[in-house]
Structure 1
Amino acid sequence: MAKLKSAVVFLIFLTSVLFQAQEREFWLIDTETQQKKIVKDSVSAVKFLDSLSKNHFIFTELKNVKKVGLRTEIYYDKGQNFNEAFVQLSDSLSSELKIEKQFYTKNLDSLKKEINKKYIDQGFAFSRIQSKYLGKQNGKQKVELTVVKDQKRLIDGFVIKGYEKVPSRFVKNIEKEFRGKKYDEKNLLAINRSLQNHTFVSLERPPQTLFTRDSTNIYLFLQKKKVNSFDGIVGFGNDKSEKFTFNGTLNLNFKNIFNGFESISLFWQRNPDRGQTFDLQTDIPYLFKSNVGVNMNLNIYRQDSTYANVKILPAVYYHLNNRQKIGLRGTFETSTVMDSLYIQGKDYSKKGIGIWYDYTEPTEIELFLYKTRIRAEADLLSTHYSKEEITAGQTRYFLLAERNFYLGGRHYLNIKGESALLNSENELSTNELLRFGGWNSMRGFNEESLFADFYYYGKAEYRYLVSNQAFFDTFLQYGELSSKALGLRPKLYSFGLGFNFFLPIGLMSFQISNGSEFGNEIRFSDTKIHWGILTRF
C-alpha cells in the first residue's frame, strides 16, 4: 500500500506541474464496477485511495493513470473486502451466544464488537475477541473467533472523594444496593442515576473505576450542594369582605449544616382572611448511623382572634432507599376557641397514631423541584371535646401524587392530584376541618380559605421550557369538597398562567390565577397574583 501511495502521489504531482494554470478534474475509476468518483485536486484523490485500506480493502491495487485533456483518470482495483468473512465458532461459544456454529457476515468488525459487548455486560470487563485465519472459502476469507474472558468483575466497594464528610450510612446504603453486582454499563448508569440531582450532594464527574487483581472499586467524586434556602411569596387578592389585601409566605430551610443530611425548617404564612400559620420542623435522617430517622413537627394555626390550633407530630421512619421512606408518627393537637360568639367552633384535644410513606424522584431539569413525588398518610385519632365531655374516634388520610412528563422538544406536562379525608363518629366543628387552597394547592383561591372534611383536586399544567433558566406555564384545575358541618359540597375549578426564571438571587416565580365554583361566573376582582423567589445559599 505504501508503494501504491508513492506512485499515485508522484504521477499526480507530475500532472499538476504540467497543467497548473488550467482547470482540472481527477476521476477515480473502479475497474471492477466502473464506478466513478470525481474529486477536485490531487490531495483529495490520495485521501480517497488511502480510505479504502482503512475500510478493509487492504490490497487495493493501482492499475493505470491516464491523462485525457484536462482530466486525469486513475484506475484502481479494490480487491477483496476483508471485513466480509465466513465465521466459525467453537461449540461452547456457539452455545453461549445461541447462534449458529458457522455463518457468513458482511461486517466482521461489527460482529466482534457485538460479541465482546455481550461478555462485558456479563461482567467480563477485560474480555477480548481473537480471530484466527483459516484460509479461503468461495473466494472469501474464513476465520475462527474465540473469546478470552479473563476474570469476571463484580463491584466490591465505593471510595468517596472530594466531599468526604457524608454520613457513613449514606455510603453503606449505596454499597448495599450495588455491592456484589456485576460490573457493567447498566449498573454504572444506575449508580450515576441514583446520585443525580441528590438533595445534598452532586457528582463532580462520572464515577471512575480502580481495577486491581482481585477487586473492583468505584470512586465517587462528590461535591457538597448549597441547599439552605429562603422561599418568599407575596400574594394580592380580595378577602371575604371584598377588601384588597396582601398575604404572604416565608419558608426558611437550613440543611446539612452539620454534614448529617439533617434539616430545620421554619414556615410562616398569612392569608387574606387574617389567618396565620407557623410551622417548625426538624429532621434527622440517619440516627446513630442507622437507616432510622426522626422528625419533629410543631404547627400552630391562629384565625385572627377567633380560635387557635396547636399540633405536635413526632415521627420515626426508615429509609427503604435514597428515594423512599416509611414511618410511624404520633398526633397531639389542641384547639381553643377565644371568641365566645363563635358557635361553630369547639374546644378539643386530639391524640393518635399514624403511618406515612414518601417517595421523591429527582429531576434532570433544575427549574423543576422534582420529577415525581408521592406522599401518603393515614391516622387513627381520638378526639375529646372538653365542654361537652364527649370523646369520638376519627380517621384521617392524605394522598398527594405529582409527576413531570416530557412531551418532546421543550414541552412538559405537570400532573398533580391531592386528596384528604377526616372522618368522625360525631359532627366535626369548623375549627378542626381540613383547610386547603392557595399557591401550593387549589390556585385561584385564597390561602387556606377552603374548609372541608373531604376534598380532592387535580391539576394539569403545561410547561414550555424557554431555556435552562426559564419556563412559561399555563394550568387548569378541577376539585370538589364536602363539608357536612357547613352543609356544602361545591365543585370547583381554576385556571391561570405564570412565568418562572432564574436570576442571580434565585428562582423567581410569577403567577396569575382565578377560580370559582361551577354555576358561578368568574369575577375579575377574584383574580389572584402571586410573586415569589426561592434562593439557595
Structure 2
Amino acid sequence: MKKFTFLLLFIYIIFSPKSFGQNLWLNMKGANSDETKTVDSLNYQKRHIDFKSLTAEVNTTQQTLYKLGYIENEAYPIKKVNDSTFSVKIALKRKFNSIQIYYDNTTLAPSMLKSFSKRITNDYFEIPFHQIEAILGGINQDISEKGLPFSKLRLSEIEVKNNRTLHAQLVVDSNQKPRTIDDITIRGYEKFPRSFLKHYLKIKPGQVFYLSTIKRKTEQLANLNFAEQLKSPEVLFSKDSTILYVYTKKTNSNAFDGFLGFGTNEDSNKLEFDGYLNLNLTNNLNFGESFRLLYKSDENDQKTFESNITMPYIFNSPIGIELALRIFKKDSSFTTTNQTAKINYQINPKHRIALGITSSESSYLQSTTSLTLRDYNSNFFTISHQYNNLQASNLLFPVKSHFNIEIGTGKRKTESDSEKQTLLTLNASNIFNLNAKNSIYLRTTGSYLQSDNYFKNELFRFGGINSIRGFEENSLFASLFGIINTEYRYQLANTVYIHTIFDAAYFDNKITSVQQKLFGFGFGFGLLTKAGLFKLNYANGKNENSNFKLSDSKVHLSLTAYF
C-alpha cells in the first residue's frame, strides 16, 4: 500500500502542469559599458514567469531612468536569445541634473521656496532633477496649508536649456479663494472655555485655514492643567464653509494637599509637629479660573493664611486678573497683611507677563518698644514674567520647567519717616531627563529687599519642605537669600520614585549682620496612589560652622489628592 501511495505522488509531481512551467530571463544593457553599469545599478528583476511580466519590467526601468534625469532614454525592441532568455538595449543618452522652474512670484512667495531650493530668483528656482516629485509635493503641501487645500501643481513648457539643465513653467491650478475658518466645534469637553481658543491657542473664526499651524497650536492644550487634546483636529470642507473640529477632554485639576512634619525641639528636647493644608480649585465654573486657599501652622508658633484667585480673559479679552491676600502672624510679636492685585497678559501658552500693585501693613503687637519691630505700611508696583512647560505624559512630574521673576519698587512708611525700597524675587526649576527612569531636578529660589534700613517683620522668612529642607518651617529671616534644591530621581515604576536631597542656601540678615551658608542632605520617595501623590522626605540641615546632628533631622510627610 505504501509503495502504491508513493507511486501516485511521484506521478503527480512528474506530470503536474506546474512542472512544465518555464522561467524567462531578462538581460538589459546600455549603449556602452558605462550605461550598462548604470542599468545594472537599478537592480531590476531578471527572472519572470511570462513575457508580459518581462515587458512590464522594461517599462518600469525606463520610468525609473526618467526620474533620475535620463528623460531621453530609448528602449530598443526586445530580442529573443534562446527559449528562456531575452535581451533589450536601453540607450540612456543625456542625463539632466537640474531643472529651472519659472513661477509667478505674486502667487508663490520666494520665501516659501527657501526650504526647497538653494538657488532662488524672482523669476525661477533651481532644484535637482531627481527631487522634482518630492519638492513639488512639498510646495503643494505648503500652498494647501496656506488656505488652499485643493490646489494642484504641474509643469508645462518643459524645454532643454543645455546638456545638463532643463527649464519649465510652474502652473498652480487653484480657482478658489483662500479658505477661512467659518466655525469651530468642540467635541468631548463641549464646555471648554472658548476664550482659551481665541486668546490662549489663538484660533478663531475668520482666520485663514492653515492646517499645520492649527495642529501645532492645539498641541499647546498639553500646557493646560484642566484639559487635554484627545486627537488631532479635523476639518469639514463644504462648498461655502470650513468647519474646524477640536477634540478635548476635561481632566481632574482640583488638588488638596498637606504635610505633617515632626522634629525635636532644641530647647525642650520634645517632639513637635507642624503642617499645612493647601486647597487648589481650577476650572470648576468652566471659565479657566483658579482659586487657592492655604493655612499653615508650624512649630515656631507661626500661622499663615493665604488666598488667591485668578480670572483669565476677563470679558473675553486677552487680559486676566489675579487677586491675593496673605496674613502672617508670628507668635505674639507681630502680624503682617499683604494684598496684591495684578493684571496679566498671556503672550502664548507658555509665557505670561503681569503688572501689579502690592500693599502691605504690619503691626507690632507688644507694648514694649522694639528697635527691630515697627508698625509700617508699604506699597510696591511690580512687573513679572512667568514661563511654564509641562510634560503631561509623566504622572509623577507633570511640570518640566518653571520660571518666574518679579521686580517691584515702592515705599515703606512709618509714623516718622518714608523709605524707598526695591524688591526682587526669583523662582525657577527644570527637570533634566537622562532617560525614561533617571532624571535630575534642579530648582533655584531667591529674594532680595533693598533698603537703607530694615525691620524684622518685613524680612523674608524661609526654611522647610518648600525651601531648604532639614530646617524648621519659616525659621530663618533674611533681607537677601538664595537657595538651590537638587534631587537625583529614579523611577521604580510609573507611580513610584525615590530621590536624593541636596540643598544649599546663602542668606544675609542686615539687622543681625549675619551671613551664612546652609546645607541640607537627605533622601525621600514618592508614591502615586488612588488617594493622590504621597511623599516622604528625611533631611538633616546644618550651617557652615556646625556639624550634623541626628537630633536635628526633619521628617516631612505630604499627600496631594487630585479630584
State TM-score, norm by structure 2.
0.73
* Runs (5+) with no aligned partner, structure 1: 1-13, 20-27, 34-54, 65-74, 135-141
CA distance in 2, matches of 1:257, 1:418: 31
* Deviation per residue, 1:368-425 (Å, 9 max, x gap): 2412211122222322334xx2322222111111122222332222221111111222
Kept in 2: contact 1:438–1:446 (CA 8 A): yes
Pairing 1:76-155 to 2, within 5 Å after superposition? 81=61, 82-86=63-67, 87=69, 91-92=101-102, 97-98=116-117, 105=130, 112-113=133-134, 115-122=136-143, 123=145, 125-126=149-150, 150=174
The amino acid that maps onto 2:311 is I
- Structure 1 position 195, deviation (Å): 0.9
- Structure 1 position 239, deviation (Å): 3.9
Structure 1 residues 91 and 445, CA gap change in structure 2 (3 angstroms): same
Match of 1:347 among 357, 375, 399: 375
The amino acid that maps onto 1:85 is Y
Kept in 2: contact 1:31–1:77 (CA 8 A): no
Q: What is the DSSP-based 3-state SS (H/G/I as helix, E as strand, rest coil) of the residue aligned with 1:321? A: coil
- Structure 1 position 249, deviation (Å): 1.5
CA distance in 2, matches of 1:468, 1:290: 40
Kept in 1: contact 2:201–2:349 (CA 8 A): no
The amino acid that maps onto 1:161 is R
Pairing 1:214-253 to 2, within 5 Å after superposition? 216-241=242-267, 242-253=269-280
The amino acid that maps onto 2:410 is L
Structure 1 residues 369 and 276, CA gap change in structure 2 (3 angstroms): farther
Kept in 1: contact 2:488–2:501 (CA 8 A): yes
- Structure 1 position 485, deviation (Å): 0.6
- Provide the residue aligned with 1:6 in structure 2: none
Q: What is the DSSP-based 3-state SS (H/G/I as helix, E as strand, rest coil) of the residue aligned with 1:121? A: helix
Kept in 1: contact 2:197–2:203 (CA 8 A): no
Pairing 1:399-410 to 2, within 5 Å after superposition? 399-410=426-437
- Provide the residue aligned with 2:32 in structure 1: none
Q: What is the DSSP-based 3-state SS (H/G/I as helix, E as strand, rest coil) of the residue aligned with 2:102? A: helix
* Deviation per residue, 1:82-120 (Å, 9 max, x gap): 544344657337996538979675xxxx86345413431
Match of 1:479 among 486, 492, 505: 505
CA distance in 1, matches of 2:524, 2:485: 14
* Runs (5+) with no aligned partner, structure 2: 1-8, 15-22, 29-41, 72-98, 105-109, 120-124, 159-165
- Structure 1 position 207, deviation (Å): 1.6
Pairing 1:147-186 to 2, within 5 Å after superposition? 150=174, 156=181, 158-174=184-200, 176=202, 180=207, 183-185=210-212
Q: What percentage of residue pairs aligned between the two structures are identical?
A: 26
The amino acid that maps onto 1:370 is V
The amino acid that maps onto 2:296 is Q
- Structure 1 position 266, deviation (Å): 0.9
Is 1:363 aligned to residue 384 of structure 2?
no
The amino acid that maps onto 1:92 is Y
CA distance in 1, matches of 2:238, 2:100: 31
Q: State the Cα RMSD in Å.
A: 4.0
The amino acid that maps onto 2:102 is S
Q: What is the DSSP-based 3-state SS (H/G/I as helix, E as strand, rest coil) of the residue aligned with 1:522? A: coil
Match of 2:478 among 445, 452, 458: 452
Structure 1 residues 29 and 399, CA gap change in structure 2 (3 angstroms): farther
Structure 1 residues 417 and 101, CA gap change in structure 2 (3 angstroms): closer
The amino acid that maps onto 2:255 is S
Pairing 1:319-330 to 2, within 5 Å after superposition? 319-330=346-357
Is 1:424 aligned to residue 440 of structure 2?
no
CA distance in 1, matches of 2:50, 2:203: 64
Kept in 1: contact 2:522–2:538 (CA 8 A): yes
- Provide the residue aligned with 1:515 in structure 2: 541
- Structure 1 position 348, deviation (Å): 2.1
* Deviation per residue, 1:455-487 (Å, 9 max, x gap): 112223222233332332223222210001122
The amino acid that maps onto 1:350 is S
Is 1:495 aligned to residue 476 of structure 2?
no
- Structure 1 position 251, deviation (Å): 0.4
Is 1:372 aligned to residue 401 of structure 2?
yes
Q: Is 447-456 or 371-380 further displaced after alignment?
A: 371-380
Kept in 1: contact 2:181–2:209 (CA 8 A): no
CA distance in 2, matches of 1:315, 1:18: 91
Structure 1 residues 275 and 152, CA gap change in structure 2 (3 angstroms): same
| Count of residues paired in the alignment | 474
CA distance in 2, matches of 1:511, 1:250: 17
- Structure 1 position 184, deviation (Å): 4.7
- Provide the residue aligned with 2:311 in structure 1: 284
- Provide the residue aligned with 2:162 in structure 1: none
- Structure 1 position 220, deviation (Å): 0.9
CA distance in 1, matches of 2:12, 2:533: 67
- Provide the residue aligned with 1:192 in structure 2: 218
Structure 1 residues 345 and 238, CA gap change in structure 2 (3 angstroms): farther
* Deviation per residue, 1:143-184 (Å, 9 max, x gap): x99886646866636432232323332222256468746635
CA distance in 2, matches of 1:324, 1:77: 60
Q: What is the DSSP-based 3-state SS (H/G/I as helix, E as strand, rest coil) of the residue aligned with 1:85? A: helix
Q: Is 358-367 or 498-507 further displaced after alignment?
A: 358-367
Kept in 2: contact 1:112–1:129 (CA 8 A): no
Q: Is 173-182 or 227-236 further displaced after alignment?
A: 173-182
CA distance in 1, matches of 2:11, 2:363: 102
Q: What is the DSSP-based 3-state SS (H/G/I as helix, E as strand, rest coil) of the residue aligned with 2:514? A: coil
Kept in 2: contact 1:513–1:529 (CA 8 A): yes
- Provide the residue aligned with 2:230 in structure 1: 204
Kept in 2: contact 1:359–1:373 (CA 8 A): yes
Structure 1 residues 127 and 282, CA gap change in structure 2 (3 angstroms): same
Q: What is the DSSP-based 3-state SS (H/G/I as helix, E as strand, rest coil) of the residue aligned with 2:339? A: strand
Kept in 2: contact 1:317–1:326 (CA 8 A): yes
* Deviation per residue, 1:220-259 (Å, 9 max, x gap): 1122222121111111223453432111121012221221
Q: What is the DSSP-based 3-state SS (H/G/I as helix, E as strand, rest coil) of the residue aligned with 2:232? A: coil
CA distance in 2, matches of 1:418, 1:470: 27
* Deviation per residue, 1:317-373 (Å, 9 max, x gap): 223233333222222222222234683422222233222222222223232241221
- Provide the residue aligned with 1:384 in structure 2: 413
Structure 1 residues 56 and 126, CA gap change in structure 2 (3 angstroms): farther
State TM-score, norm by structure 1.
0.76
- Provide the residue aligned with 1:271 in structure 2: 298
CA distance in 2, matches of 1:316, 1:230: 27
Q: What is the DSSP-based 3-state SS (H/G/I as helix, E as strand, rest coil) of the residue aligned with 1:490? A: strand
Kept in 2: contact 1:167–1:259 (CA 8 A): yes
CA distance in 2, matches of 1:310, 1:528: 29
CA distance in 2, matches of 1:60, 1:203: 52
CA distance in 2, matches of 1:57, 1:215: 49
